[in-house]
Amino acid sequence: MDISQKRLPIILIIILVVVLIVQFMGNQQSTTLIDTQTCELYIKDAQIGGKQYLGEYDSKCLDLRNLNP
Protein backbone atom coordinates (compact mmCIF):
# COMPACT_ATOMS: atom_id res chain seq x y z
CA MET A 1 0.00 0.00 0.00
CA ASP A 2 1.50 3.28 -1.13
CA ILE A 3 1.19 6.40 1.06
CA SER A 4 0.21 8.48 -1.93
CA GLN A 5 -2.95 6.44 -2.49
CA LYS A 6 -6.23 8.26 -1.97
CA ARG A 7 -7.77 5.44 0.05
CA LEU A 8 -5.13 5.38 2.80
CA PRO A 9 -6.35 8.46 4.72
CA ILE A 10 -9.92 7.15 4.65
CA ILE A 11 -8.83 3.75 5.93
CA LEU A 12 -6.80 5.36 8.73
CA ILE A 13 -9.72 7.57 9.76
CA ILE A 14 -12.05 4.58 9.88
CA ILE A 15 -9.57 2.61 11.99
CA LEU A 16 -9.15 5.51 14.42
CA VAL A 17 -12.92 5.99 14.75
CA VAL A 18 -13.37 2.28 15.49
CA VAL A 19 -10.65 2.43 18.15
CA LEU A 20 -12.31 5.44 19.79
CA ILE A 21 -15.70 3.72 19.79
CA VAL A 22 -14.23 0.61 21.40
CA GLN A 23 -12.53 2.70 24.09
CA PHE A 24 -15.72 4.63 24.78
CA MET A 25 -17.75 1.45 25.14
CA GLY A 26 -15.13 -0.03 27.46
CA ASN A 27 -15.18 3.04 29.68
CA GLN A 28 -18.95 2.97 29.98
CA GLN A 29 -18.90 -0.46 31.62
CA SER A 30 -16.37 0.37 34.32
CA THR A 31 -17.54 3.78 35.44
CA THR A 32 -17.23 4.41 39.16
CA LEU A 33 -20.35 5.92 40.70
CA ILE A 34 -21.14 7.45 44.09
CA ASP A 35 -24.06 6.34 46.27
CA THR A 36 -25.80 9.57 47.27
CA GLN A 37 -27.04 8.24 50.62
CA THR A 38 -23.80 6.75 51.93
CA CYS A 39 -21.15 8.47 49.73
CA GLU A 40 -19.67 5.02 49.05
CA LEU A 41 -18.11 4.30 45.64
CA TYR A 42 -19.57 1.48 43.57
CA ILE A 43 -19.63 0.10 40.06
CA LYS A 44 -22.61 -1.33 38.22
CA ASP A 45 -22.06 -5.04 37.74
CA ALA A 46 -23.58 -6.10 34.41
CA GLN A 47 -23.33 -9.82 35.23
CA ILE A 48 -25.54 -9.76 38.32
CA GLY A 49 -27.44 -6.60 37.43
CA GLY A 50 -26.67 -4.80 40.66
CA LYS A 51 -24.21 -2.61 42.49
CA GLN A 52 -20.78 -3.79 43.61
CA TYR A 53 -19.50 -1.58 46.42
CA LEU A 54 -15.77 -0.91 46.55
CA GLY A 55 -15.47 -0.16 50.27
CA GLU A 56 -14.19 3.38 49.59
CA TYR A 57 -15.87 6.71 50.27
CA ASP A 58 -15.78 9.96 48.32
CA SER A 59 -14.26 12.69 50.50
CA LYS A 60 -16.01 15.56 48.71
CA CYS A 61 -19.38 13.90 49.14
CA LEU A 62 -18.72 13.31 52.85
CA ASP A 63 -17.68 16.95 53.30
CA LEU A 64 -20.88 18.16 51.64
CA ARG A 65 -23.00 15.84 53.77
CA ASN A 66 -21.32 17.15 56.94
CA LEU A 67 -21.96 20.78 55.92
CA ASN A 68 -25.68 20.13 55.25
CA PRO A 69 -27.15 18.35 58.30
pTM for this predicted structure: 0.48
Cβ(41)–Cβ(54) under 8 Å?
yes
For the chain, 69 residues long, give each residue's pLDDT as a single digit of tens: 556 677 888 889 999 999 999 888 776 655 678 888 888 998 877 677 788 888 899 888 888 888 876
Measure the CA dihedral 10/14/16/20, to 10°: 150
Closest CA to 31 of 48, 45, 12, 47: 45
pLDDT of residue 15: 95
Going by the DSSP 8-state scheme, the letter that residue 6 receives in this structure is S
Q: Are strands 32-34 and 50-57 parallel, antiparallel or unpaired?
A: unpaired
Name the residue ranges covered by the structural domains of the chain. Answer: 1-30, 31-69
Q: Which long-range contacts (CB under 8 A, 24 or more apart) does 56-60 make?
A: 58/34
